[in-house]
Amino acid sequence: MPVTVVNNTKVWQRYDKATRLKIWMGWITGTAITLLCWQLISNNTRWEFVADASQQLSAFLQRMFPPDWAYAEQLWKPLWDTITIATLGTLLAVSIALPLSFVAARNTTPHPILRYVALLIIVISRSVNSLIWALILVAITGPGVLAGILAIALRSIGFIGKLAYESIEETSYEPIEAITATGANRLQVLDYAYLPQVLPSFAGISIFRWDINIREATVLGLVGAGGIGLNLNASVDLLRWDRVGMIFVLIFVLVLISEAISARVRKAII
Amino acid sequence: MAELTASSVTSRRWRKPPLIRNPWLRWGLLIGTLAYLAVAISSVPVDGARIARGLERGGRILLGFLQPDFASRWYDIQIGVLESLTMTVVSTVAGVLLSVPVGLGAARNLAPAPIYLACRSIITISRTFQEVVIAIAFVVMFGFGPLAGVCTLAFATIGFMAKLLAEDIEEIDPAPLEALRATGAGWLKTVTYAVMPQVSARLVGLSVYRFDINLRESAIVGIVGAGGIGSTLQTTFNRYDYDVSAAILFIIIALVMTTELVSGQIRRRLQ
């Protein structure tokens, strides 16, 4: 009990002395590390450029407003491409990730070694950002929508796969045992015992990732992988900030709509 | 049930119920999806000749992954990785510290309407734009370099943390809140003694999780000049030094996996 006697009265404290010391040490180390990191960043920063940041910001906003509304006409096709990249990329990822997740889940995997291979694929896919995947793919397929679709798919396999195999591992055992007891073979058990339990969460995960992918697809064009990011990159390079403003408006609306759709659908499923 | 003959039994065979009960909705969705897919797939240009040429380059990339070159650009890689790590630390700390007031302001049960709306719009803007888009704006303001990256990641952290924190606060047990108010405690004291104890464990868990995400994102904001390993990676790609790119990618994957393991352990212990 962290109770000390001071002047003959008992004083209660939340932690004893050793714990308090540990907490203090933790805070001090954390602060020291953060300050050290900050110093490194500060050394690599040209502070004379930062000094006029407020002027830069106001100039930036002034040149962005009003957005170049006429430019929107040229943006419908890139916008369609962006949605296509996100949708087809997600579908491709779903069609690979779902079988993969059954291999990766502890209770459905055909073999432990295969399970580790599947887990490795999931981890690698998750660790690499879709922009980096796009960087690699643009070198192979050339710039364009195809590279974007593949990049989105490669990143999403890990995301969908991880959440999906976790939900497979959480399935309750009774229906599985019941179906197995009827003499069903492995495929039938999968179809009648596992799938009904996990399909709603699979659908929810996929829609959730689609929503994230819309956001990711807006920037893939910065490395040449198609979509509205291409126009963003070109407008930034030309310093046409009014066009950049127009693109920001469209991205904002697109992401808000996709988020609303995703939230609506997930609420209906779950 | 005498009239239940063998034939009527077979005709009443049980079938799996369809996923969507309403047949109109079911078939409409199916046909709509197929039509959309046909249009979408046909709008994707596929240049077979370009891909054939690219496959040769793909082979070289694969070769680079089999023989990653850590040595020849080790100095640049080292600086880039160190910068990414420091950016992650500073931006996570700054972002979490700033997300607490924003999160408190965005909780409907604590904040008055104007503050609520202001905080909610900060969250919406931060969550709508991808990190790289925000990085473009910060690079314009602060010039090239890691400071723009730190601000980007901190801003993105605010959106993420504040939203989840606000949702948590809106779901807290109202009894302690009422008890504190009944004693005549002010707003700050109510928050310190009734709200924070209920959400702080999750706040720590989320911060650790966000650290992971920031590390991953710090590897890409460099593509628009906001510091970190991303610019080095892009340079190696533009110079066709695929063995160096492979080395950088391996380092990124190893770092992300390590922090993910550590943060997973921490979060498990917190629960």
In this predicted structure, what is the pLDDT of residue B5? 52
Cβ contacts from A onto B, under 8 A: 154
Quickly state the pLDDT bin for A1 (edges 50, 70, 90).
Answer: low
In this predicted structure, what is the pLDDT of residue A142? 83
Provide the mean pLDDT of chain B: 86
**What is the per-residue DSSP string for B37-94?**
HHHHHHTS---HHHHHHHHHHHHHHHHHHHS---STTHHHHHHHHHHHHHHHHHHHHH
Provide the mean pLDDT of chain A: 88
List of chain B residues whose C-beta atoms are within 8 Å of the C-beta of residue A153: none
Among partner residues A30, A88, A139, which is closest to B40 by beta-carbon distance? Answer: A88
Give the residue from chain B lying closest to A84, CA to CA: B40
In this predicted structure, what is the pLDDT of residue B178? 87
Residue A175 CA from chain centroid, whole number: 33
Q: How many CB atoms lie within 10 A of CB B226?
A: 30
Q: Give the C-alpha separation, B147 to B140, whole Å.
A: 12
Contact A146 B82 (CB under 8 A): no
Render pLDDT for B9-26 as a digit per residue (tens, 0 to 9).
556 777 777 777 788 888
In this predicted structure, what is the pLDDT of residue B122? 92
Q: Give the C-alpha separation, B82 to B53, whole Å.
A: 36
Give the residue from chain A lying closest to B52, CA to CA: A141
pTM for the structure as a whole: 0.84
At B226, phi and psi to the nearest 5?
A: -100, 30
Quickly state the pLDDT bin for B191 (edges 50, 70, 90).
Answer: confident
Handedness of CA A155, A160, A162, A165 (dihedral sign): negative
Contact A218 B133 (CB under 8 A): yes
Give the residue from chain A lying closest to B231, CA to CA: A132
Contact B40 A87 (CB under 8 A): yes
Give the residue from chain A lying closest to B245, CA to CA: A136
In this predicted structure, what is the pLDDT of residue A101? 93
Render pLDDT for A175-217 as a digit per residue (tens, 0 to 9).
888 988 998 888 888 888 888 888 888 989 999 999 999 999 9
Cis peptide before A66 (omega within 30 of 0): yes
Give yes or no for residue B1 having a pLDDT over 50: no
In this predicted structure, what is the pLDDT of residue B11? 62
User: Per the structure block, which two tokens stand in for B215?
Assistant: 């590390």
- Please indicate whether residue B82 or residue A53 has the higher confidence score (pLDDT): B82
Render pLDDT for A235-269 as a digit per residue (tens, 0 to 9).
988 888 889 889 999 999 999 999 899 888 888 87
Quickly state the pLDDT bin for B121 (edges 50, 70, 90).
Answer: very high
Residues 6+ apart with CB under 8 A from A241: A60, A63, A64, A235
Q: Give the C-alpha separation, A74 to A231, whole Å.
A: 9
A4's enclosing H/E stretch is strand A3-6
In this predicted structure, what is the pLDDT of residue B120? 92
Tokens 């419908």 belong to residue: A76
List of chain A residues whose C-beta atoms are within 8 Å of the C-beta of residue B234: 135, 223
Torsion region of A119: left, alpha or beta (phi above 0 gives left; psi -120 to 50 gives alpha) = alpha
Render pLDDT for B47-103 as a digit per residue (tens, 0 to 9).
788 888 888 888 888 888 888 888 888 888 888 899 999 999 999 999 999 999 999
**What is the per-residue DSSP string for B170-209?**
HTS-HHHHHHHHHTT--HHHHIIIIIHHHHHHHHHHHHHH
In this predicted structure, what is the pLDDT of residue B47? 79
Buried b / exposed e over A171-209, threshold 16 CB at 10 Å, is beeeebeebeeeebeeeebeebbbbeebeebbbbbbbbb
Closest-CA residue to A258 (of A190, A208, A204): A208
Render pLDDT for B129-183 as a digit per residue (tens, 0 to 9).
888 889 988 888 888 888 999 999 999 999 999 999 999 998 888 888 888 889 8
Q: How many CB atoms lie within 10 A of CB B41?
A: 13
List of chain B residues whose C-beta atoms are within 8 Å of the C-beta of residue A256: 124, 128
Q: Give the C-alpha separation, B239 to A129, whole Å.
A: 21
Question: How confident is the model over B22-48, as a mean pLDDT?
Answer: 86
In this predicted structure, what is the pLDDT of residue B227? 83
Handedness of CA A256, A261, A262, A264 (dihedral sign): positive
Query: What is the 3-class SS of A195-240, one letter each residue?
Result: HHHHHHHHHHHHHHHHHHHHHHHCCHHHHCCCCHHHHHHHHHHCCC
Question: How confident is the model over A23-39, as a mean pLDDT?
Answer: 91
Give yes or no for residue A6 having a pLDDT over 80: no
Residue A221 sits at the vertex; the CA angle it makes with A217 and A224, to the nearest 5 degrees, is 135
